[in-house]
Amino acid sequence: MRDLAIKVNGIKYKAKRLDSDFADFVEKEMSESGIVLDAENSAEKLFAAYLRLAGKSYSYEKEIEEIIREIE
């Protein structure tokens, strides 16, 4: 279990007791989006990181739906 923290506009937000593998995943994804954990970040960067992950999720959902259609 690990804790992660991010600062946005001077406010520190914490996520406590995350599964270590999930925390590693979040840390990697945030880093690739230009977010630095435990450091100051802009709300704009955080929103861009969210959109990047939402885009991935949307893409995966579409792929799953296509696979299900092919099976039926």
Q: Which candidate, 44, 46, 21, places its Cα nearest to that of 36?
A: 46
What pLDDT score was predicted for residue 4?
94
**At residue 72, does pLDDT exceed 90?**
no
Write the pLDDT tens digit of every residue in 20-61. 999 999 999 999 999 999 889 999 999 999 999 999 999 999
What pLDDT score was predicted for residue 39?
87
SS (H, E, C) 11-44: EEEEEEEECHHHHHHHHHHHHHCCCCCCCEECHH
Q: What confidence tier does 68 reach under pLDDT thresholds 50, 70, 90?
A: very high
Write the pLDDT tens digit of every residue in 3-14. 999 999 899 999
What is the gyration radius of the CA atoms in the chain, in angstroms? Answer: 15
